Amino acid sequence: MKKVQYLKIMAAAILGISGMFAPQPGTLTGEKLTATVYANGEDLSVFENSGKYIKKEDDGLYCVDQDGSPDVRCAVHYFDHFAVDGKVLDGYYYHDESGRLALEGGIHYVSRMRCQGQLFDGYYYFDEQTGSLSSGGVTVQGLTVETDGKIKELVKPGTDSLEKKLEELLNGFEGQWSVYVKDLGSGEQFSINNQSMTSASVIKAFVMAASYENMDRLRVQEGTILKAEPLSDTVLNKLYALTENMVTFSDNESFNEMVRLQTPSMQFNAGARVINRFLRGQGYQETAVLHTLAPSSTEPVGLGGSNTTSVEDCGKLLESIYRGECVSEEASSQMLSFLLMQDTRTKIPGGLTDSITIANKTGENDSNQHDIAIVYGDRTDYVLCVMSENGGTEETAVSNIRMISALTYYALNW
């Protein structure tokens, strides 16, 4: 067996989430890692010469035992100018339950532990350039980083803590704000200030659902317009393009056309009544199609008032799509694909990293900034719906939505 050279690392670790991991062959570098394990702030046991090492793998550096198996504990380690793989690690670094050092940085939750004399308990920000613990500043999501690296706005994981924090946050925002959150794994949910609001383009997600329910009728209508068979590629491609333009690119004229296609009369108001019957039948109490959307080539017409919805109605719609229960499993899958391709990613997605998969639909006008989303997290998937009215400048309102998004993700995916 090839002799391995070890470089000394001083570190401390906490017993965390356990799991199984089968390491691939790799090269061990560095000296033994002397680790002290703590729980509830008390010294449980000290593993002097315990055989902890840094192991290089294709996807990064791992904290491992002498046999190469990873340290399956979420933990923080301290390195003092430790050189490995062309890098110099200096400061506190986090590794997840696979043992991988998160050199890409980011926000991580650390259960109560001590490392190199510092107590860790909560959410901490590790610099995205160096991977080491930050010592103050503001994250890209607008979260405050204290001098010990802790995130001020994040306290504990879970929906209870999140609800309290969001209530506090929303009370400090200008204007009217509504938020709905549901953990799709545990089923835990809450809403804050649920109320009917002007929907802006969020209403397009509901028109998409109604259109799939009435798809046979829409095919006949479009076939008549195009002088083609209802199931011909010509008709199917046109309806696909209309739906994509309406949802993915939020085109207003495509919305107006999809509403008109609901009835043989091709009248917007008649189509709106059909859609509203569907919405009431599905239990959407605060959602209604009442007016055309502008700017568009359609002359303004409507049933009176503005289109409306609420965060709870939006959450219910997204969950039904997520679970394959909106119209049918096949229809839900197609609707989800349009949401996943959403062109506007500045709000809920803007508060998260690009690696996180998000299906969303935005809406905005001079007074409103909305976004509704299914977020596929590392630990759990969830629905987040945020609506605002008179929430300050566009920049301020969008920034607030990003902050809500970040707080929600890390509270549920710690």
What type of residue sits at position 149? Answer: G
Residues whose CB is less than 8 angstroms from the CB of residue 171 and which lie 6 or more positions away in sequence, other chains included:
none
Determine the average pLDDT of the residues in 235-246. Answer: 98
pLDDT range class, residue 380, cuts 50, 70, 90: very high
**pLDDT at residue 52 in the model:** 65
**Strand residue runs (E) in 96-143:** 106-115, 118-126, 137-138
d(CA 409, CA 182): 11
The rounded percent of the chain whose pLDDT value lies above 90 is 67
The rounded percent of the chain whose pLDDT value lies above 70 is 87
Most confident of 85-89, 386-390, 410-414: 386-390
Q: With 60 as the cut, is the pLDDT of residue 129 above it?
A: yes
Neighbours of 22 (CB within 10 A): 6
User: pLDDT (tens digit, 9 = 90+) per residue, 64-113?
Assistant: 877 777 887 888 888 888 888 888 889 999 998 888 999 999 899 998 88
Q: With 70 as the cut, is the pLDDT of residue 312 above it?
A: yes
User: pLDDT (tens digit, 9 = 90+) per residue, 348-374?
Assistant: 999 998 999 999 999 999 999 999 999
Q: With 80 as the cut, is the pLDDT of residue 329 above it?
A: yes
**pLDDT at residue 63 in the model:** 84
Determine the average pLDDT of the residues in 192-200. Answer: 98
**pLDDT at residue 77 in the model:** 85
**pLDDT at residue 18 in the model:** 29
Q: With 70 as the cut, is the pLDDT of residue 331 above it?
A: yes
Q: With 60 as the cut, is the pLDDT of residue 4 above it?
A: no
d(CA 368, CA 39): 47
Q: Tell me if 140 sits within 8 A of 374, measured CB to CB.
A: no
User: pLDDT (tens digit, 9 = 90+) per residue, 16-53?
Assistant: 322 322 333 333 333 344 433 333 333 222 223 335 67
**pLDDT at residue 153 in the model:** 85
Helix axes 252-260, 233-247, angle to 10 degrees: 130
192 or 161, higher pLDDT? 192
Determine the average pLDDT of the residues in 268-295. Answer: 98
Q: With 70 as the cut, is the pLDDT of residue 346 above it?
A: yes
Determine the average pLDDT of the residues in 123-149. Answer: 91
d(CA 136, CA 149): 6
Instruction: Give the global pTM.
Output: 0.79
Length reported for the chain: 414
Domains, in order of start, for the chain: 9-145 (no CATH), 159-412 (3.40.710.10)
Determine the average pLDDT of the residues in 167-189. Answer: 97
What type of residue sits at position 388? Answer: S
| CB burial readout 28-47, b (16+ within 10 A) else e | bbbebbbbbbbeeeeeeeee
